[in-house]
Structure 1
Amino acid sequence: MDSKLALPVGTTLDRFIMRKEKDFPYATGELSQLLRDIALASKIVNREINRAGLLDIAGAYGNQNVQGEEQQKLDVIANIRFIRAFRNGGEVCTIISEEDEDIIQTGNPHGKYIVAMDPLDGSSNIDVNVSIGTIFSIYRRKTSQGCDGDLTDCLQRGVEQVAAGYVIYGSSTMLVYTTGNGVNGFTYEPSLGEYFLSHPDIKTPKTGKTYSINEGSYNSFPQGIKDYVEYCKSNEYSARYIGSLVADFHRNLLKGGVYIYPSTLKAPNGKLRLMYECNSLAFIIEQAGGKATDGVNRIMELEPTSLHQRCPLVIGSPEMVDKVTEMLKKSEAALVQA
């Protein structure tokens, strides 16, 4: 066999997780098992996505979720798969999901962890074969074990996350996560059914030449965001906007860039969810050397007040995020002076 075709077998996700347990002197294995549960559920969801066109499970489900958005069939399937994995695993006492209005109890009152998740981000893109993803955050419960979790457990700031990550289902499937000691990416090898370490210790570039924003809403952007878009154009930056948050974020994380979803006239508080999208990606980008802000405040320090709270998001390479916030401050100062 040609040695060039004999790809080496690398470090599996399971082996990597076991090696990293030493980073948590208080850990007794539950967090490691929880990460394995997420990996297992993602493999099942990956299989369903790859079969979607054959089994008539793409397209609208016929209901709206709590966000008022039309649910896709795979939204419902992914939500069920992850909830089932957490219930069977035993490490999670309570789940909050973008697809459910209320707290979900797992029936494991002794579980140590809370999970916040967007089970299938960007699912409206399934029908056109665009990359989609799963986003998750893990928190340690605040209430005593032995009872169900409550809002005190669920409404925690991003700085209190113990782990966060995402799975991107694209030309290859990747799981990227952090436990507060750097960011690592694993690529799924379907013939072996394993995730392998492919992107160790990810560091995002300090700056880039890519900006990701829905310019169709340009007329309703705050002036500072309009100014930044014009700055990008005058410097011949590349506009790259897929409309699938995980895909846009993943590209910018690896290659450098900034993703912006600002407040608009239609969505004055922004559109993205703090608990299911922003906190998780903020934790990841900060661990990779980047920044995340709502335009004024650090995302990880925002105090959540409701399960489905929305907020603006500016996230990516640190110098690019700083430039956005600088322009927002200048425009605000000009308004005050006027």
Structure 2
Amino acid sequence: MEHHNDSVAADAPASLAPTMAALCEVAITLAQTIARGPLNTTNLHSEVGENSDGDHQKALDVIADDAFAAALGGTGVRWYASEEQDVVVPLDAEGTLALAIDPLDGSSNIDANVSIGTIFSIFPAETEADASFLRPASEQLAGGYFIYGPQTCLVVTYGDGARQYVLDPASRSFVLVSERLNIPATSSEFAINASNYRHWSRPVRAFIDDCLAGAEGPRATDFNMRWVASLVAETHRILTRGGLFLYPGDARPGYGQGRLRMVYECAPIAFVIEQAAGGATDGFDPLMRLRADTLHGRTPLVFGSREMVERVTAYNTLPESEVSALFGNRGLFRA
């Protein structure tokens, strides 16, 4: 099963092989930079500006973005869309691919030595730059992520299952360790930022209340709650042992559609999760059917073990009278 050196490129469809090889080379270098942490001459966590959405950019955000953009030239990528760029960047006029990327996901955790990563999505290129990305997530050719943690891993799908590679530091190569990942159908773990409880919709609060009620509650299960604030870390844990991730829209100004971007975060994660037998929705509809309206457009995101994702949808689609009854009877945090 093991492949070395150019194994990722060899396993990819021929049209994607050069792009995947370039992504891997940058990821290997980034992994080394991240592992050195404060030993680097640059403070990787220092703030260097803001991106188009007003998010604070860390030095490592910019280093990663520059490295990927430079490496992808000549690999068949016509359009490069990055969280760190206001607009799509043209790379190769003859290219047939459009690549969307979050170069450094979870950058708020850089200084805390928590797993961070890179998320990417590949679409067929269209003549118009934005049109290459503003399309249903189901039209992705590939989606995946690198996670820089105790092991540096690549998880990727080309629509034929999700596979996992681990970086061997000795050979500087990614080694295939799983040809087909499968998420357990259910779990007793969920991940959500509970500090936003008061801002969530009543169905989301009712769902979480029922989980927190434990074995004595309507779910008859003691749940554990997780929250890493690193999408790749949350995804990797769920791929490994199941669970549920929720980042719903909420009542705060600017958070009606959540905080995660459809094109270069939610779409590739949903692609991987569904190819690993999990589910991914915006809380109502399968995410793979959806599309972004703008390059940096956001969407609520719920993904993980299929039974748990379907239960969230059931709560969200209950009639208001039933939601009110659930919330009134079971709310653990109501005034």
**Equivalent residue, structure 2, for 1:205:** 184
Aligned with 1:111: secondary structure? Answer: coil
Match of 1:124 in 2: 108
Match of 2:87 in 1: 102
**Equivalent residues of 1:131, 1:169 under 8 A apart:** yes
SS in 1 for 2:141: strand
Distance 1:99 1:269 in 2: 20
Q: How far apart, CA to CA, are the structure 1 residues paired with 2:9 and 2:187?
A: 31
Is the aligned partner of 1:168 residue 2:160? no
Aligned counterpart for 1:296 among listed residues 273, 284, 307: 284
1:44 aligns with 2:23: no
Is the contact made by 1:139 and 1:161 (CA closer than 8 Å) also made in structure 2?
Answer: yes
Aligned to 2:223: 237
Once residues 58 and 95 of structure 1 are traced to their aligned partners in structure 2, the CA distance between those partners, rounded to angstroms, is: 23
C-alpha deviation, 1:19, in angstroms: 4.8
Q: How does 1:311-322 map to 2 (within 5 A)?
A: 311-322=299-310
2:86 corresponds to 1:92: no
Using the TM superposition, give the Cα deviation of residue 332 of structure 1 relative to its aligned residue in structure 2, in angstroms.
4.2
Q: Does the CA-based 8 Å contact 2:79-2:97 persist in structure 1?
A: yes
Measured in 2, the distance between the counterparts of 1:185 and 1:18 equals 14
Q: Distance in 2 between matches of 1:124 and 1:245?
A: 11
1:138 and 1:333 map into 2 onto residues whose CA distance is 43
Match of 1:15 among 7, 30, 37: 7
3-state SS of 1:204 partner = coil
How far off is 1:150 after superposition?
Answer: 1.7
Identify which of 227, 249, 252 aligns with 1:263.
249
Change (3 A) 1:279 1:14: same
Determine the C-alpha separation between the residues in 1 that align with 2:179 and 2:81: 29
Q: Report the equivalent of 1:146.
A: none
Task: Work out the CA distance in 2 between the residues paired with 1:261 and 1:175.
Answer: 23
State the SS of the aligned residue for 2:72: helix
Q: Partners in 2 of 1:20 and 1:100 — Cα distance? A: 27
Higher mean C-alpha displacement, 243-252 vs 47-56:
47-56
Match of 2:198 among 210, 213, 219: 219
1:60 paired residue number: 46
Match of 2:332 in 1: none
Query: Normalising by the residue count of structure 2, what TM-score does the alignment of the two structures yield?
Result: 0.90
Aligned partners of 1:163, 1:260: CA distance in 2, in Å? 23
CA contact (8 A) 1:44 1:81 kept: no
Post-superposition, which runs of at least 4 consecutive aligned residues in structure 1 deviate over 6 A? Answer: none
The answer as to whether partners of 1:13 and 1:197 remain within 8 angstroms in 2 is no
Contact 1:115–1:137 (8 Å) recurs in 2: yes
Task: Look up the match of 2:160.
Answer: 181
Distance 2:178 2:82 in 1: 28
Selected match of 1:139 from 109, 123, 137: 123
Structure 2 counterpart of 1:158, from 134, 137, 153: 137
Matches of 2:321 and 2:21 in 1, distance apart?
Answer: 49
1:332–1:160 CA distance, 2 compared to 1 (3 A): farther
Q: CA deviation at 1:20?
A: 5.4
Percent of aligned pairs with the same amino acid: 35
| Contact kept in structure 1, 2:2 and 2:176, CA below 8 Å | yes
CA distance in 2, matches of 1:78, 1:156: 26
User: Contact (CA 8 Å) 1:223, 1:331: kept in 2 or not?
Assistant: no
Q: Which residue of 2 aligns with 1:113?
A: 97
Q: Could you say what the CA RMSD is over the residues aligned between the two structures, in angstroms?
A: 1.8
**5+ residue gaps, structure 1:** 1-8, 22-28, 144-148
- How far residue 15 of structure 1 moved from its aligned partner, in angstroms, is 3.2
Contact 1:113 1:138 in 2 (8 A): yes
Q: What TM-score results when the alignment is normalised by the length of structure 1?
A: 0.89
CA shift digits 1:152-209 (9 cap, x unpaired): 2221220000001000000110000000000100000111101101222101111111
